[in-house]
């Protein structure tokens, strides 16, 4: 069997079948059914959030955030993320402006953010890359001083805490992805969260055609989460601690096996409670990265270039140069990491890396 960069966790089939049976019995498939409401309430309590609005996917979460904040003009964002981060900006009629990244944590560099702010800047859309927090203090200070909004893309950061506070509680709005490749998932899905109750109501209205019952309040689209997706999320939540524990074990074994090699791996600060979503390895050159990748592929092991190409180089984006992101993007590989990854598999991967670096 191929060993891919991740493996979707699926709960026991009989557990999900029980939820599906209840959906069939009540005939409520979508439009804010009981499981969608239950999942919103459970996530709000579990993550210590003020307001949770489930939606169809993580890209939709970003689009709803941009629309709810009524953003226009330029939005400053990172070149080092998945395409959804910048596509949502363009799709909503705004212009992405790239600020290069910090080579230490791969997140957007606050100094470079401030350098590209113009009178047309309406917001910062920052990504917690690999689940590690951005420089929250610096970014929030910049947003406050320039009177612009800040959206955090937390697609990788479910469950992460900073000084025992949920990372999802920062900024004006935080968007999450519940895609099947994520630590917690609903197959397809996502959520937006914010502290402001009025903003949360606006997000809710935007998600469901602008109306509640027979009362219409404005423009909206269909961004809802179905009962089938919400039920899957509810099935997975009880296993989340075990999933994180197993991923942490594999993460630590990678660190141990790669210790002493001339590669860079994530360092988790003491004040961060991490979710072990990714294990990226930064090699000394693109040639070395490609050679390692080729040897792993020959053994049916498939790491991914998260994230390549950098977003400023996408064909539909006219982005300025971001030399740090472009360099890191060319040299990084996310290694396989999942709840099922064994010590023996980690050792095989690291043995191949060690051999190729030494050759």
For the chain, what is the radius of gyration of the CA atoms?
21
**Mean pLDDT, residues 103-120 taken together:** 97
- pLDDT at residue 358 in the model: 77
Nearest residue to 88 via CA among 63, 55, 58, 56 = 63
Measured CA to CA, the distance from residue 218 to residue 220 in angstroms comes to: 7
Q: Is the pLDDT of residue 359 over 80?
A: no
Start-end of H helices in the chain: 13-26, 34-47, 58-68, 83-91, 110-115, 136-146, 197-207, 227-236, 240-258, 286-298, 323-331, 343-358
Measured CA to CA, the distance from residue 352 to residue 183 in angstroms comes to: 26
Measured CA to CA, the distance from residue 332 to residue 313 in angstroms comes to: 16
Q: Which tokens is 95 given?
A: 């212009």
Q: Is the pLDDT of residue 22 over 80?
A: yes
Residues with Cβ within 8 Å of 246's Cβ and at least 6 positions away in sequence, in order, are: 339, 340, 341
Q: Is the pLDDT of residue 146 over 80?
A: yes
Q: Is the pLDDT of residue 318 over 90?
A: no
Q: Is the pLDDT of residue 163 over 80?
A: yes
- pLDDT at residue 1 in the model: 87
Nearest residue to 158 via CA among 74, 97, 88, 243 = 243
User: 13-238 domain in CATH 3.40.640.10?
Assistant: yes
Which residues share a beta bridge with 74? 95, 121
Nearest residue to 127 via CA among 139, 114, 115 = 139
134 touches 162 (CB < 8 A)? no
What percent of the chain is modeled with pLDDT above 90?
A: 98
Q: What is the pLDDT of residues 328-351, one digit of tens each?
A: 999 999 999 999 999 999 999 999
240 touches 69 (CB < 8 A)? no
* pLDDT tier for residue 240 given thresholds of 50, 70 and 90: very high
Q: What is the pLDDT of residues 292-315, one digit of tens each?
A: 999 999 999 999 999 999 999 999
- pLDDT at residue 320 in the model: 93
Q: What is the pLDDT of residues 77-89, one digit of tens each?
A: 999 999 999 999 9
Question: In this structure, which CATH number among 3.30.465.10, 3.40.470.10, 3.90.1150.10, 3.40.640.10 belongs to the domain 240-358?
Answer: 3.90.1150.10
- Say how many C-beta atoms besides its own lie within 10 A of residue 134's C-beta: 31
Exposure on the CB side of residue 272, measured as CA atoms within 13 A: 21
Q: What is the pLDDT of residues 176-199, one digit of tens each?
A: 999 999 999 999 999 999 999 999
Strand pairing class (173-177; 190-194): antiparallel
Give the residue extent of every domain in the chain. 13-238, 240-358
Task: DSSP letter for 155, please.
Answer: T
Q: What is the pLDDT of residues 50-79, one digit of tens each?
A: 999 999 999 999 999 999 999 999 999 999
Residues recorded for the chain = 359
């Amino acid at each position: 069997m191929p060993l891919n960069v991740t493996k979707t966790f699926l709960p026991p089939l009989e557990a999900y079948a029980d939820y599906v049976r209840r959906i069939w019995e009540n005939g409520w498939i979508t439009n804010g059914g009981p499981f969608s409401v239950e999942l919103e309430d459970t996530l709000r309590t579990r993550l210590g959030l003020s307001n949770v609005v489930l939606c169809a996917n993580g890209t939709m979460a970003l689009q709803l955030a941009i629309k709810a904040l009524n953003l226009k003009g330029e939005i400053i964002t990172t070149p080092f993320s998945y395409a959804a981060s910048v596509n949502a900006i363009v799709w909503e009629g705004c212009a992405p402006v790239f600020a290069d990244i910090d080579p230490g944590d791969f997140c957007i560099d606050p100094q470079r953010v401030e350098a590209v702010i113009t009178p047309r800047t309406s917001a910062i859309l920052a990504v917690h890359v690999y689940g590690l927090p951005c420089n929250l203090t610096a970014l929030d200070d910049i947003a406050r001083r320039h009177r612009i909004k800040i959206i955090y893309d937390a697609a990788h950061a479910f469950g992460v805490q900073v000084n025992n506070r949920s990372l999802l509680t920062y900024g004006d709005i935080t968007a999450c992805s519940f895609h099947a490749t994520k630590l917690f998932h609903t197959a397809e899905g996502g959520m937006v969260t914010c502290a402001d109750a009025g903003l949360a109501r606006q997000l809710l209205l935007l998600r469901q055609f602008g109306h509640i019952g027979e009362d219409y309040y404005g423009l909206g689209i269909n961004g809802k989460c179905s009962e089938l997706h919400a039920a899957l999320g509810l099935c997975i939540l009880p296993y989340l601690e075990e999933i994180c524990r197993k991923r942490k074990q594999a993460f630590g074994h990678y660190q141990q096996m790669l210790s002493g090699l001339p590669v860079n791996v994530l360092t988790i600060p003491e004040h961060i409670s991490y979710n072990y979503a990714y294990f990226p390895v930064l090699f000394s050159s693109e040639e070395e990265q490609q050679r390692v990748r080729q040897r792993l592929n020959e053994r049916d092991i498939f790491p991914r270039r998260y994230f390549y190409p950098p977003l400023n180089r996408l064909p539909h984006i006219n982005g300025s140069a971001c030399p740090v992101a472009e360099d890191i993007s060319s040299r990084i590989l996310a290694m396989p990491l999942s709840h099922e990854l064994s010590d023996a598999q980690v050792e095989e991967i690291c043995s191949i890396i060690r051999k190729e670096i030494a050759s």
